[in-house]
Amino acid sequence: MIELNANQIAEATGGRLTATVDPNSVVTSANTDSREMNPGALFIARRGQTTDGHNFITAARQAGATLILAERETQDGLGAIDPAVIVEDSTQAMGHLARYIVDKIREHSETTVIAITGSVGKTSTKDALAAMLATQGPTTAPQGSYNGEVGVPLTIFTAALDTRYLVVEMGADRIGNITELTDIVRPDISVVLTVGTAHAASFGSVDNIAQTKGEIVEALPAGGIAVLNADDIRVAEMAERVPDQASTLWFSAAYAPPQRERLVYAADAATTKNENPHFTLQYFGSDADEADRTGYDVTAQLIGEHHTTNLLAAATAAFAADIPLDTIASLIPTITATSAHRMARTDRPDGITILDDAYNANPESMRAGLKTLAMLGRNTGRRTWAVLGPMLELGDAHAKEHILLGEVVVRLNIDQLVVVGSTARALYTGAVNEGSWGDEVDYVLSNDEALELLAQHVEPGDIIFVKGSNGTRLWELADQLTTAQLVAHKEKRK
């Protein structure tokens, strides 16, 4: 984090300093987790859903925190008031502090801020974009999937003063959420991937989701650039919400004769035998030079056709940030999945392949992952297993979406389905009813049962795909599967 003194933090947050604050004290990092403190840290005490950070102030100070951001005065073990900046709402104060830091970073040197939203693919796109930008200048991007009122400020707290590119992921679960985040970072480039059904329950309708995601382009300043997915009608409609002084760059993963000006697209998009996307990266527009118009052939390392969209989004955002298209094309093959559990492929020595996509799940990402699994099976003649947990947060659509997904598994000709957890039971029902399946589908209640079942039945050559909502911890099963004894275990049982 940039170095800040106590007065600056009070100024940024509109807070008041306790009498015990040493006016010369400076902080060089900030976090809400008392286990992540180091000397010179600012500990932010916030009330979370399950715990109250104010209970950890002593621990944070013992771990080196020099200053606290809190909603009330607290005392240390000796009865002395902890040195703190007192604010009304710590979470909001984090946003204000982050905004202040973004200002300082911008004042120091040229900085381009790129914000990414969408119902699916944000983290994948953010990781790809950050990897590209990091070759061009100091880049700050979120850890994992940090994308909310806490994650966005925490990302900014990690930024250095000389940050050239700041990449921010933005998630939302209600109208106004994205505006709260754009108020903090004020993006120069805003990327919208898709409008899907993620968090449909809290939004009430898909229209509300589109309304909220579009807030990201409304926030653009004069000269700002909206990067919009031409293949998603609800995203394309957001072009009308781009302020007059800003402009739009389009991307499309579908090959069609380009229909729009200023379009970065994938011509001849396909996948290799290992389901790595390959395509010709092209730019169509009256300002396009000949080489960009003809394009550059690329093959990515990421797995799954759906990454074509994410790579194009990242490429277009980098292009909007003035990186030449040929440079971008040369970087695409170097990009790997940096955040965990996103189509992570492990080829075990016994010939079994684990595809761990267990970071999270919703109907769109489930279909994308299952399609990739089906294609891999078809390309290689190997047997495919889908080990699926529930998709959470679907509200009233829960049963219907699970039944539909069960049908999809059958229609994709996945060889074996293992449904994990009672919340996912409708998935089992959907598959059974669609396919008159018998042995091809199993229903188990826990990760342990799933592991046991797989250990008994998998064989060398099988591909096991694991996916479910984050809250169900299916990634623990995926982790176990990468190392557990599977085939040998089975032989022992005979």
Annotated binding residues, written as ranges, equal 118-124
Identify the residue whose tokens are 């989004």: 313
Query: CB 360 → Mg ion: shortest distance, Å?
Result: 7
Query: What value, to the nearest 5°, has the Cα angle with vertex 427 and ends 422 and 429?
Result: 95
Neighbours of 296 (CB within 10 A): 18
Q: Which of 322, 298, 303 is nearest to 312 (CA)?
A: 298
Q: In the set 90, 229, 310, 480, which binds ligand ATP (CB under 6 A)?
A: 310
Nearer to ligand ATP, 53 or 277 (CB): 277
Q: Smallest distance from the beta carbon of 360 to ligand ATP, in angstroms?
A: 4
State yes or no: residue 34 binds ligand ATP (CB under 6 A): no
Interface with Mg ion (CB under 5 A): 122-123, 145
Residue from 2, 317, 9 nearest 187 by CA? 317
* Pick 6 or 168: Cβ nearer Mg ion: 168
Site for ligand ATP in 92-121 (CB under 6 A): 118, 120-121
Residues from 352 through 391 that contact ligand ATP (CB under 6 A): 357, 359-360, 364-365, 368-369
Q: How far is the CB of 126 from Mg ion (least distance, A)?
A: 7
Smallest CA-to-CA distance from 465 within 422, 412, 396, 402 is with 412
Choosing among Mg ion, ligand ATP, none, which partner's interface includes residue 310 (Cβ < 5 to 8 Å by kind)?
Answer: ligand ATP
Nearer to Mg ion, 169 or 215 (CB): 169
- Cβ 224 to ligand ATP shortest distance, Å: 22
**Contact map string, positions 177 to 196, toward ligand ATP, x by CB under 6 A:** --------------------
Give me the least distance between CB of 339 and Mg ion, in Å please. 8
Radius of gyration of the chain (CA): 24
Which of Mg ion, ligand ATP, none does residue 360 bind to, with CB < 5 to 8 Å depending on kind? ligand ATP
Contacted entry of ligand ATP, Mg ion, none for residue 369, CB cut-off 5 to 8 Å set by kind: ligand ATP
Q: Where are the beta strands (DSSP E) in 272-312?
A: 277-284, 296-299
User: Which residue, 356 or 462, has its beta carbon nearer to ligand ATP?
Assistant: 356
* Closer residue to Mg ion (CB): 71 or 393: 393
d(CA 123, CA 326): 24
Residue 171 makes contact with ligand ATP by CB under 6 A: yes
Judge contact between 263 and 285, C-beta under 8 A: yes
- Taking the complex as a whole, the smallest distance from the CB of residue 6 to ligand ATP amounts, in Å, to 34
Known binding-site residues for ATP equal 118-124
SS3 at position 140: strand
Least CB distance to ligand ATP at residue 43 (A): 26
Nearer to ligand ATP, 71 or 169 (CB): 169
Backbone angles phi, psi at 328, to 5 degrees: -60, -45
53 or 121, CB closer to ligand ATP? Answer: 121
Distance CA 409, CA 385 (A): 10
Q: Distance from CA of residue 8 to its chain's centroid?
A: 32
Site for ligand ATP in 116-145 (CB under 6 A): 118, 120-124, 145
Binding partner at 348 among Mg ion, ligand ATP, none, C-beta below 5 to 8 Å by kind = none
Q: Which does 359 bind (CB under 5 to 8 A by kind): Mg ion, ligand ATP, none?
A: ligand ATP
Q: Is the CB of 44 or the CB of 314 nearer to ligand ATP? A: 314
Phi-psi region of 395 (alpha: psi -120 to 50; beta: other; left: phi over 0): left
Element (H, E) at 280: strand 277-284
Element (H, E) at 327: helix 325-331
Q: Cβ closer to ligand ATP: 246 or 427?
A: 427
- Closest separation in Å from C-beta 479 to Mg ion: 19
| Number of residues this chain uses to bind ligand ATP (CB under 6 A) | 21
For the chain, how many residues are written? 494
Distance CA 166, CA 76 (A): 37
Task: Enumerate residues 6+ apart whose C-beta is below 8 A from 324.
Answer: none
Q: How many CB atoms lie within 10 A of CB 431?
A: 27
> Quick check: 312 and 253 in contact, CB under 8 A?
yes
- Per-position DSSP letters for 143-162, written without gaps between them: STT--STTHHHHHHHT--TT
3-class DSSP state of 417: strand
Give yes or no for residue 469 binding ligand ATP (CB under 6 A). Answer: no
For ligand ATP, the closer CB: 21 or 266: 266
In the chain, % helix, strand, coil (3-state, to 5) comes to 40, 20, 40
- Residues with Cβ < 8 Å from 92, sequence gap 6 or more? none
Site membership for ligand ATP, residue 306 (CB under 6 A) = yes
Name the burial class of residue 92, with classes exposed (0-12), middle (13-18) and buried (19+) by CB atoms within 10 angstroms of its CB: middle
Binding mask 265-304 for ligand ATP (x = CB under 6 A): ----------------------------------------
- In the bound state, the residue with its beta carbon closest to ligand ATP is 365
Question: Which positions lie near ligand ATP, rule CB under 6 A?
Answer: 118, 120-124, 145, 147, 171, 306, 309-310, 342-343, 357, 359-360, 364-365, 368-369
